[in-house]
Amino acid sequence: MKLKVYVDRMSQPSRAILIFCKVNRIDFEEVQINIAKGQHLSPEFKKINPMRQVPAIADGKFTLFESHAVLVYLACAFPGVADHWYPADLFRRAKINSVLDWHHSNLRRGAATYVLNTVLAPVLGLASNPQAAAEAEKILSSSLSKIESIWLKGNGKFLLGGFQPSIADLSLVCEIMQLELLDENDRSRILGPHKKVLEWIENTKTATRPHFEEVHQILYRAKTRFQEQRSMGSNNTTGSSNRMTLPSKM
């Protein structure tokens, strides 16, 4: 039975898993779980992931969720996956696990909370929390500095001095990519000072092309839509509604 990958392409860990499967030519079926339509709350999807979150997978009767656990499983279960994605070597694997674990409470927390409390809240009809956004920006900027000074030091193109990407590169770069949705001033202020991070993003795109850009198309379309709506909002002086609409594919 073909591997099923349950995703919403608007979710950054969903995109990481899709890119991984495509780059590694894993034979899979993409099952779209549209969060905006509440499909993650259906009884059918609860059987796949009782936490009701994407991404998740079903490999025959075996189900799994949490994107890092999924990436590790896919790298180990599918023999065609090159070793550099999740090296068999105990020490290199341990270092990658360390990056992935660190990611949760640092880069992911900062990026996701910042995007939610700036551009996403109005789209979702929620109140933005400027204090939460300010705190998240601190975590995010600190995380980017640490990535640069600790894991991107040296001459390697990827984290931990690697010359080929690992699942940690893919997961972290996909997380950062959601900053595309921000107002350009905000995005430049946050990412601009981190030249090595910007190079690393490009290296990861290049190493996973054309799949990286293809899977991120939905994000680029959302970015354009958000920009247009911000522009309309700033020209709208009637104050009738500040709520923006979701892109049709969200």
The contact set with a copy of itself (CB under 8 A) reads 50-51, 62, 64-69, 72-73, 76-77, 90-91, 94-95, 97-98, 100-102, 104-105, 108-109, 146, 149-150
- Specify the residue, 31 or 77, whose C-beta has the smaller distance to a copy of itself: 77
- State the minimum distance, in angstroms, from the CB of residue 106 to a copy of itself: 9
Judged by phi (left if over 0) then psi (alpha if -120 to 50, else beta), residue 23 lies in: alpha
The dihedral region occupied by 70, where left means phi > 0, alpha psi between -120 and 50, and beta the remainder, is: alpha
Number of H helices, E strands in the chain: 12, 4
CB of residue 15 vs a copy of itself: minimum separation in angstroms?
A: 17
Contact 28, 132 (CB under 8 A): no
Count, residues in the chain: 250
109/196 with CB nearer a copy of itself: 109
Nearer to a copy of itself (CB atom), residue 65 or residue 114: 65
Three-state SS at 57 = strand
> How far apart are CB 146 and a copy of itself at their closest, in Å?
7
Minimum distance between the CB of residue 239 and a copy of itself, rounded to whole angstroms? 28
